[in-house]
């Protein structure tokens, strides 16, 4: 199975690169992810719960990064197995700076086997695309929250101005004013990072993406909305006709 695509992150390239190396951020953005542990500098252990059509189960495996060119590109090798079967793949990830945004381009080859391979190549392709899309959107949200927290200005109260004294004699006899009681500085709590996608939301989005992808084989994507409104209009006419028949009787 060939996988390729692009995604534009609304964050600068260094922030995107750092997030791609942070297992905490990745685990919150990984659809169906249950665990992501960093074993060493370039290797991770992952546990994912994936559903492809009628087949659902847990995969356990490793993710290894090689040919690392910080902060531009790296090669990724994935291997996992579980009750649904096995997944092995390799691919390249490329980051390109575009002002305050970052373009990610990815390509890869994936082999699947076992029960999951029996659901059909097209269904596997559509599910994989949906999971990747959801993961990148969630990762983008995590990165934006991280950047916003890092760039938020500190909430420091201004120092009150001291009123000038025009009479130097009066200034000499005026006793020193006791220092004001210390006022606790308000603490600005960091914004909580958005939670990762829930299992129900992942399943719902995958179902929508798969249905849209399969329908596109018969109806081009640019005409799907027109066909939907036509179908709804026809259904409304049938309902009105049925009601009129009942009233006329």
Report DSSP letters for 113-182, one per residue: ESGGGGG-HHHHHHHHHHHHHHHHHHHHHHHHHHHHHHHPPP--PPPPPPPP-S-HHHHHHSPPPPPPPP
User: 64 vs 215, which has greater pLDDT?
Assistant: 64
Q: Are residues 249 and 147 in the same domain?
A: no
Q: Are residues 126 and 241 in the same domain?
A: no
Where among 117, 151, 185 does a domain terminate? Answer: 151
Q: Is residue 156 part of a domain?
A: no
Q: Is residue 79 part of a domain?
A: yes
Give the mean model confidence (pLDDT) for residues 87-113: 94
Q: Is residue 57 part of a domain?
A: yes
Residues pairing with 98 in the sheet: 101
Q: Is residue 77 part of a domain?
A: yes
How would residue 136 be classed by pLDDT, with cut points 50, 70 and 90?
A: very high
How would residue 154 be classed by pLDDT, with cut points 50, 70 and 90?
A: low
Say what the pLDDT of residue 189 is: 37
How would residue 227 be classed by pLDDT, with cut points 50, 70 and 90?
A: low
Q: In which domain, by residue range, is 47 found?
A: 2-151
Q: Give me the number of domains the chain comprises.
A: 2
Share of the chain above pLDDT 70, in %: 62
């Amino acid at each position: 199975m060939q996988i390729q695509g692009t995604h534009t992150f609304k964050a600068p390239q260094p922030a995107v690169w750092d997030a791609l190396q942070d297992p905490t951020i990745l685990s919150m953005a990984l659809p169906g992810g249950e665990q992501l542990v960093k074993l060493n500098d370039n290797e991770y252990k992952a546990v994912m719960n994936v559903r492809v059509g009628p087949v659902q189960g847990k995969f356990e495996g490793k993710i290894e990064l090689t040919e690392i060119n910080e902060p531009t590109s790296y090669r990724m090798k994935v291997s996992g197995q579980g009750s649904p079967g096995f997944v092995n793949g390799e691919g390249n990830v490329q980051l390109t700076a575009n002002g305050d945004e970052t373009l990610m381009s990815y390509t890869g080859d994936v082999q699947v086997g076992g029960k999951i391979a029996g659901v059909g190549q097209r269904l596997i392709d559509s599910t994989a695309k949906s999971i990747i899309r959801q993961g990148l959107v969630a990762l983008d949200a995590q990165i934006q929250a991280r950047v916003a927290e890092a760039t938020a200005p500190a909430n420091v109260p201004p120092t009150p101005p001291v009123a000038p004294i025009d009479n130097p004699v009066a200034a000499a006899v005026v006793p020193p004013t006791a220092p004001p009681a210390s006022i606790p500085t308000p603490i600005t709590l960091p914004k909580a990072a958005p939670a990762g996608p829930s299992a129900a939301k992942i399943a719902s989005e995958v179902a929508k993406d798969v249905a849209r992808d399969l329908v596109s084989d018969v109806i081009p994507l640019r005409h799907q909305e027109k066909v939907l409104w036509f179908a709804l209009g026809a259904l409304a006419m049938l309902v009105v006709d049925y009601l009129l028949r009942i009233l006329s009787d």
